[in-house]
Amino acid sequence: MNLLGNLVNLRAIEKKDALFLLELVNSPEMEYWVVGSSVPTSSIQQEKWMENIANSHTDIRLVVENKEGTVVGFANLVQIDPINRTAVHGVKFAKEFRGCGYAKDTVMAIMRYAFDTLNLNRLESTILEYNDSSIGLYTKACGWSIEGVKKSAVYKNGKYNNLVMIGITKDDFKQFSL
């Protein structure tokens, strides 16, 4: 089953997506914007990762395509907790596809799937404090709330950076999407 937005199609990762995903994870520009730290990843490591990421009931990783079938990004729902009905969500988009509306459409499609199909009650994520565009995407365009800040939580770019904690509940999503 694919998840459909107005502008995007989210589908399971296929072997043909390996090069796109490898370029995304090895992009120094992407590394600057995302939480966590990457080390250079080889095609061998990428292949092993892809073999081990079969979508499961706790981790769902998807490729994002535009309506023309071009792969534009990556989205996930991970750490799905069936007891507390929560999950962690994130997206990554190649530089040339940012600002096209794909990210908002992807987040909205993920929320519909998480809340309406998986019956989750809450989604959460973290964003580097200096990533204003991602904070705006989630809070202004998609209805998430800033729930706190973890001070000096991520060492990146030669310094410790604050981490903004965001989240949305099913009820908040229903109110936002009216």
Asked whether the predicted pLDDT for residue 38 surpasses 90, the reply is no
What's the domain range around 46? 3-176
pTM as predicted: 0.95
Q: Residue 104's closest CA among 11, 34, 7, 10?
A: 7
Output the domain CATH number for residue 53: 3.40.630.30
Residue 53 is predicted with a pLDDT of: 86
Instruction: Over range 107-134, report the average pLDDT.
Output: 98
Residue 74 is predicted with a pLDDT of: 97
- For residue range 82-96, list pLDDT tens digits in order: 999 999 999 999 999
Residue 9 is predicted with a pLDDT of: 98
Instruction: Over range 154-172, report the average pLDDT.
Output: 96
The alpha carbon dihedral of 91, 62, 17, 66 has a sign of negative
- For residue range 13-24, list pLDDT tens digits in order: 999 999 999 999
pLDDT band at 157 (very low <50, low <70, confident <90, very high): confident
Instruction: Over range 30-39, report the average pLDDT.
Output: 85
Number of domains comprising the chain: 1
Asked whether the predicted pLDDT for residue 54 surpasses 90, the reply is no
Asked whether the predicted pLDDT for residue 137 surpasses 90, the reply is yes
Instruction: Over range 142-162, report the average pLDDT.
Output: 96
pLDDT band at 56 (very low <50, low <70, confident <90, very high): confident
State the DSSP string of 87-148: EEEEEEE-GGGTTSSHHHHHHHHHHHIIIIIS---EEEEEEETT-HHHHHIIIIIS--EEEE
